[in-house]
Amino acid sequence: AQTVTQSQPEMSVQEAETVTLSCTYDTSESDYYLFWYKQPPSRQMILVIRQEAYKQQNATENRFSVNFQKAAKSFSLKISDSQLGDAAMYFCAWGIQGAQKLVFGQGTRLTINP
Amino acid sequence: NAGVTQTPKFQVLKTGQSMTLQCAQDMNHEYMSWYRQDPGMGLRLIHYSVGAGITDQGEVPNGYNVSRSTTEDFPLRLLSAAPSQTSVYFCASSYNGRSPLHFGNGTRLTVT
């Protein structure tokens, strides 16, 4: 069975600094998607960034970027110039093409210190 | 354009009661799914549907039923509520298998 592991239950960073959240996964599939979702206190699940496994180039969305290491099965999220609004739970998720059955990690709670 | 709408937002049930969590989307998405979120465990897939009339089980289906009679609606039924079903439930939809999920705002369910 596929598993997703986020080894950092909590992280904190000073405002304007950079923070990296870790995620590892285990799968025998070769074609899949990886996601980072943000969940603020409002409980809403917000897509931050998506990576397709067949693409070697790391995905980037404004201040958010990933380091995708397929051989190592690692998918970390880097947040640059952290802002107070970035404070939230962050979930890493893995999904198979055509199935939309996501497997989520346990989450990392990110605190931004002013 | 409302996106994915879940009702109710909060619900308290007694053990043994039944109820239906409603989910509707107005984006003409083929894929819909239900997840539950428990503290320290992330989200886990309960049931999913790849189109009207087609449903399948996810990781934790026991105690839940679903049906998909229309593209827009995907209700989740609790047949006989148990305290272990206390959780936050999320409905999600996507256009196809390559598209990211759009989530509803969740239903917090407490079973006493």
Q: What is the pLDDT of residues B63-99, one digit of tens each?
A: 999 999 999 999 999 999 999 999 999 999 998 877 8
The answer, yes or no, to whether residue B34 has pLDDT greater than 80, is yes
Model confidence band, residue B40 (pLDDT cutoffs 50, 70, 90) = confident
The answer, yes or no, to whether residue B1 has pLDDT greater than 90, is no
CB-CB neighbors (< 8 A) of B101 in chain A: 45, 47, 100, 102
B105·A101 Cβ contact <8 A: no
A45·B92 Cβ contact <8 A: yes
Q: Give the chain A residue nearest B88 (alpha carbons).
A: A43
Q: Is the peptide bond prior to B100 cis by the omega test (within 30 degrees of 0)?
A: no
Q: Which of A61, A51, A47 is nearest to A91 (CA)?
A: A47
E strand segments, B1-112: 4-7, 10-13, 19-25, 31-37, 43-51, 54-57, 64-66, 76-78, 87-94, 102-103, 107-111
CA angle centred on A18, ends A2 and A6, rounded to 5°: 20
Report helix, strand or coil for B28: coil
State how far the Cα of B95 lies from the Cα of B32, in Å rounded to an integer: 9
pLDDT in tens, chain A (114 residues): 789 999 999 999 999 999 999 999 999 988 899 999 999 999 999 999 999 998 889 999 999 999 999 999 999 999 999 999 999 999 999 998 655 789 999 999 999 999
Q: Which long-range contacts (CB under 8 A, 24 or more apart) does A64-72 make?
A: A64/A36, A66/A34, A66/A36, A67/A20, A68/A34, A72/A24
Structure-block tokens of residue A55: 């693409």
Q: Looking at CA atoms only, how far is residue A82 from chain B in angstroms?
A: 23
Report helix, strand or coil for B68: coil
State how far the Cα of A92 lies from the Cα of A24, in Å rounded to an integer: 9
